């Protein structure tokens, strides 16, 4: 089989009679209003590209137009890749979902849990059950992040030992050692909390495979799929394709115009190799590379002769893993009707006004505004990306999805 970007990572659209002009006009308006510096959108039916469009700028101050091969900071879109990688080892019999994590990573043995009435990080009790591998794949282990709820006791404890958004100087082994020393936010398996769990998954891949996490991804996913622009850093020869990242001047109003540069494409935080190969948020990629990966997911785990996972494994990943009555919940983002599988959020219950095809949608996205969703009931897949910090769950992504369903669903 011939691999490489020329064969696999093309984003050529097929002929159709659908009119995506309303979607294009709305996405362009976000750039015109100075709410986003750039935006790119893809809509697929099955594995066929119906529409691919770019809007805005690589760098809005220089006025350079966004290119189709532009490189994005993917942040938590990395989590889907990591989860698939770990489930590849599951298929090989390297572990069972109900194995105790401490069997492979002893630092997570005998965890302590913050008491419900805790007044300090020392107010803990013993865990009533161990952390299982299915827990770290579904953010139900009790781990936390350090920035989602910064005033909470558990996130303050995390922030004192882990700076997941700014410190990349430790490797995954040390990162997980620090995480294991912190108390859990709740008893394992009893709730849901966004967390460093997918970084723990990345370290587990290293332990089970005997390879560095980036080497495993390149050998098993990126090289076979021809994802030549997906990595944990951007080398100098690709810096001209790396998008400048901006932050809004008003963090509290997502629709207020005005942005300021926060990461440079040449001398920024991704322009040299990092020690921390974050499975939760470390990758950079292109629309072509990432959609190649998504095409494999949508196509029952296979694309252009490369089989990542078996269909039954993907079905398992799209099965709710949370305790009865538990759903995905954030202090700042509303996700009603959403539960979590093994690496995917699952839209289990339709909300008023949502199209029927949105039921059983599985999805996730990144902090800087890269969103991917797959809708098996409607038979369509969407991806919209920008470089805005924060940009996750931004109104542009909701409008993109709504228009995609109206036009193609």
Residue 354: partners with Cβ closer than 8 Å, 6 or more residues away: none
Same domain, 257 and 143: no
Query: Under a CB-based contact definition with an 8 Å cutoff, are residues 266 and 95 in contact?
Result: no
DSSP per-residue string spanning 264-277: -TTTSTTSS--S--
Q: Cα dist. 34→72, 246, 256, 260, 394 in Å?
A: 19, 11, 8, 11, 14
Tell me whether residue 340 is in a domain.
yes
How far apart are alpha carbons 312 and 298 in whole angstroms?
A: 13
Same domain, 395 and 248: yes
Residue after which a domain boundary falls, among 214, 237, 259: 214
Nearest to 318 by CA among 297, 293, 296: 297
Tens digits of pLDDT across the chain (409 residues): 334 444 457 789 999 999 999 999 999 999 999 999 999 999 999 999 999 999 999 999 999 999 999 999 999 999 999 999 999 999 999 999 999 999 999 999 999 999 999 999 999 999 999 999 999 999 999 999 998 899 999 999 999 999 888 889 999 999 999 999 999 999 999 999 999 999 999 999 999 999 999 999 999 999 999 999 999 999 999 999 999 999 999 998 999 999 999 999 999 999 999 999 999 999 999 999 999 999 999 999 999 999 999 999 999 999 999 999 999 998 887 799 999 999 999 999 999 999 999 999 999 999 999 999 999 999 999 999 999 999 999 999 999 999 999 999 9
- In this predicted structure, what is the pLDDT of residue 2? 37
Task: Tell the residue number behind the tokens 């228009």, with chain if given.
Answer: 403
Tell me how many degrees the CA angle 276-106-231 measures, rounded to the nearest 5.
Answer: 20
Tell me whether residue 296 is in a domain.
yes
- In this predicted structure, what is the pLDDT of residue 277? 98
Nearest to 390 by CA among 281, 234, 302: 281
Residue 350: partners with Cβ closer than 8 Å, 6 or more residues away: 337, 356, 358, 359
> How does strand 302-303 pair with strand 306-307?
antiparallel
| CA 46 from centroid of its chain's CA atoms | 21
Residues spanned by the domain of 57: 21-74+226-408
Preceding peptide of 120 cis, ω within 30°: no
- In this predicted structure, what is the pLDDT of residue 202? 98
Same domain, 36 and 184: no
> How does strand 361-366 pair with strand 370-375?
antiparallel
Tell me whether residue 7 is in a domain.
no
Same domain, 203 and 234: no
DSSP per-residue string spanning 108-168: GSS-EEE-TT-SSTT-EEE-SSPPBHHHHHTT-SS---SSSSTTSHHHHHHHHH--TTT--
Same domain, 124 and 36: no
Query: Under a CB-based contact definition with an 8 Å cutoff, are residues 347 and 361 in contact?
Result: yes
Q: Which two tokens stand for residue 160?
A: 């004192």
Q: Which two tokens stand for residue 373?
A: 């969703």
Could you list the beta-strand ranges (E) of 282-379: 284-286, 302-303, 306-307, 338-340, 345-347, 361-366, 370-375
Same domain, 369 and 294: yes
Q: What is the pTM of this model?
A: 0.96
Same domain, 136 and 179: yes
Same domain, 39 and 91: no
> How does strand 48-59 pair with strand 64-65?
antiparallel
Same domain, 46 and 96: no
Same domain, 100 and 130: yes
- In this predicted structure, what is the pLDDT of residue 46? 97
| CATH number for the domain that contains residue 186 | 3.40.710.10
Tell me whether residue 5 is in a domain.
no
Query: Under a CB-based contact definition with an 8 Å cutoff, are residues 79 and 205 in contact?
Result: no
Number of domains in the chain: 2
- In this predicted structure, what is the pLDDT of residue 333? 79
């Amino acid at each position: 089989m011939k691999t490489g970007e020329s064969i696999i990572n093309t984003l050529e659209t097929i002929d159709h009679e659908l009119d995506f002009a309303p979607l294009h006009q709305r996405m362009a308006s976000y750039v015109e209003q100075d709410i986003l510096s750039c935006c790119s959108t893809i809509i697929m039916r099955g594995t066929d590209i119906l529409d691919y469009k770019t809007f805005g700028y690589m760098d809005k101050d220089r006025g350079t137009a966004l290119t189709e091969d532009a490189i994005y900071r993917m942040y938590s879109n990395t989590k889907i890749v990591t989860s698939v990688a770990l489930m590849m080892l599951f298929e090989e019999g390297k572990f069972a979902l109900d194995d105790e994590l401490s069997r492979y990573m002893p630092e997570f043995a005998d965890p302590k849990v913050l008491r419900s009435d805790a007044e300090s990080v020392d107010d803990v009790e013993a865990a009533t059950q161990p952390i299982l591998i299915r827990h770290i794949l579904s953010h139900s282990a009790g781990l936390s992040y350090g920035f989602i709820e910064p005033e909470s006791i558990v996130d303050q404890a995390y922030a004192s030992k882990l700076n997941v958004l700014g410190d990349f100087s430790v490797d995954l082994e040390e990162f997980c050692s620090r995480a294991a020393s912190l108390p859990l936010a709740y008893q394992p398996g009893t709730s849901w909390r966004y967390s460093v769990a997918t970084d723990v998954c990345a370290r587990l891949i290293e332990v089970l495979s005997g390879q560095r996490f980036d080497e495993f991804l390149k050998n098993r996913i990126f090289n076979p799929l021809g994802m030549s622009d997906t990595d944990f850093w951007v080398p100098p020869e690709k810096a001209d394709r790396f998008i400048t990242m901006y932050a809004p001047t008003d963090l509290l109003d997502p629709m207020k115009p005005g942005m300021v540069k926060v990461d440079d494409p040449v001398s920024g935080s991704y322009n040299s190799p990092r020690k921390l190969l974050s499975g939760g948020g470390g990758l950079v990629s292109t629309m072509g590379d990432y959609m190649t990966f998504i095409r494999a997911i949508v196509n029952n785990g296979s694309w252009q002769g490369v089989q990542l996972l078996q269909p039954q494994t993907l079905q398992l990943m799209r099965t709710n893993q949370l305790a009865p009555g538990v759903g995905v919940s954030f202090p700042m983002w509303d996700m009603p009707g959403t539960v979590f599988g093994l690496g995917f959020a699952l839209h289990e219950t339709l909300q008023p006004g949502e199209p029927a095809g949105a039921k059983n949608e599985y999805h996730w996205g990144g902090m800087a505004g890269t969103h991917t969703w797959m809708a098996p009931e409607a038979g369509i897949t969407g991806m919209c990306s920008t470089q805005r910090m924060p940009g996750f769950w931004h109104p542009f992504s909701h409008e993109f999805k709504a228009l995609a369903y109206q036009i193609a669903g």
